[in-house]
Amino acid sequence: MNRHTLSNGLRIVHHEDPTTQMVAVNVLYDVGARHEDPEHTGYAHLLEHLMFEGSVNIPDYDAHVQLAGGENNAWTNNDFTNYYITVPRGNVETAFWLESDRMTGLALTGQNVEVQKGVVIEEFKQRHLNLPYGDVQHLIRPLAYKVHPYRWPTIGICPEHIEQATLATVMDFYRRHYRPSNAILSVVGGIAFDEVVRLAEKWFGPLENANSDCPAKGGIEPPQARLHRKTVYRNVPADMLVMAFHMANHRSREYHVCDLITDLLSAGQSSRLIRHLIHTRKLFTSIDAYIQGSMDAGLLFIMGRLTEGTTLEQAEQAVWEELKQLKQAAVASEELNKARNRSESERTFNNINYLNRAIAIAQMELIGQDRELSDELARYCSVTAEEIQQTAKEIFKKKNCSVLYYKALQVPNHFSM
């Protein structure tokens, strides 16, 4: 992987792929929901929408992408916002032009802010308020976090925060966070490194930074001292159990161990939770374990929908029993090798795609420590049974857990005799 930094602080990472004539131009901004004021959440996601509303020089962003034979998209999470364009090699300069222009020249107006506010509020309602189980993250995050801004999801705490956004507050958020020194440009595909540097110098080099430092809001989450519980009732088809355990950040060795632990628990039909709690004991209709994947200390989730007749207390106790087994007995070499091989094959296959690689190396650059994709893969492959057992002992403690009982409303049957 090649690296270069412009004089204005824009970091460039590059990998040439001679097997394709396509190029992925990816821009990652070091801004996510964790950079928001807790009284004004949802701004990072709202700004992502507004970035497609055109700039001062380019009123119709998507039209130029289509003329260049390209595709584009973006997403926001709690840590960063990511944008990409894929174009044929011959039209790659269009991507540099488009991304550089909206980095500092976005055309924010009262009208387009109001339009996108409406879009985001409608998304909030459809995906989080009206969708079954859609508010799970709004419930479990503040249960687990009391200080850190991970306590709210990317969409924001409530629609009212978006409704209250003004052109001035949105413009301020944009100017503070959208600047060269707060971004990473990753380019992967059929293009040489010297050409990438030349185009970056031409289109991004003249851009200036706002005179502002933009640290994430909040502080370090203190260790959880006791088990947290919450019960809610919703109009959903089945009860759901949600358990969240605090775990290490992405820079830590423990992060990769926790990721493999979730594979052992729920990746594939032979995994422990699926084999024991769905197929054998028939307590759940579905169950999953996964990590939050966050930059700072995050969460390991276990959540599942219960079978009819199973109580949430029974389901929770069954999960604790499975976690106890993971703590008491070392994972057999065959089981661990299967999880490591699955992880290796998934990541290797995923990184064959030039766009996925562009996204991945941008995130690696954000994480820091001069890491490469191969280093990341090696970390997973080197996880030992002893590390699995020790990490399980450290994180699967009741005082480190937040439990949400998501209960289905009992609707009376008016037709019964």
Domain boundaries, the chain: 2-203, 228-408
Stated pTM of the model: 0.93
Question: Both ends of the chain: CA-CA distance in Å?
Answer: 72
Q: What is the CATH number of domain 228-408?
A: 3.30.830.10
Contact residues for 291 (Cβ-Cβ < 8 A; gap 6+): 247, 255, 258, 259, 262, 298, 299, 300, 301
pLDDT digits (tens, 9 = 90+) for 59-80: 999 999 999 999 999 999 999 9
Chain centroid offset of residue 297 CA = 13
What residue has token string 């959880």? Answer: 224
Q: Are 188 and 358 in contact (CB under 8 A)?
A: yes
Q: Are strands 183-189 and 11-16 parallel, antiparallel or unpaired?
A: parallel
Closest alpha carbon to 68 in 44, 87, 49: 87
Q: What is the pLDDT of residues 294-329, one digit of tens each?
A: 999 999 999 999 999 999 999 999 999 999 999 999
Q: Which residue in this structure is represented by tokens 């502080």?
A: 219
Report pLDDT for 343. Answer: 84
Q: Whole-angstrom Cα distance, residue 91 to residue 102? A: 18
Report helix, strand or coil for 386.
Answer: helix
Alpha-carbon span 30 to 177, nearest angstrom: 8
3-class secondary structure, 160: helix
Residue 213: pLDDT band with limits 50, 70, 90: low
Segments of 6-137 assigned E as strands: 11-16, 22-29, 71-76, 81-88
The CATH fold of domain 2-203 = Cytochrome Bc1 Complex; Chain A, domain 1 (3.30.830)
Contact between 263 and 271 under an 8 Å Cβ cutoff? The reply is: yes
Coil, strand or helix at 402? strand
How far apart CA 144 and CA 155 sit, in angstroms, is 18
The reply to whether 228-408 shares the fold of 2-203 is yes
The pLDDT tens digits of the residues spanning 237-286 come to 999 999 999 999 988 999 999 999 999 999 999 999 999 999 999 999 99
pLDDT confidence bin for 351, thresholds 50/70/90: confident
Q: What's the CA gap between 153 and 41, in Å, rounded?
A: 9
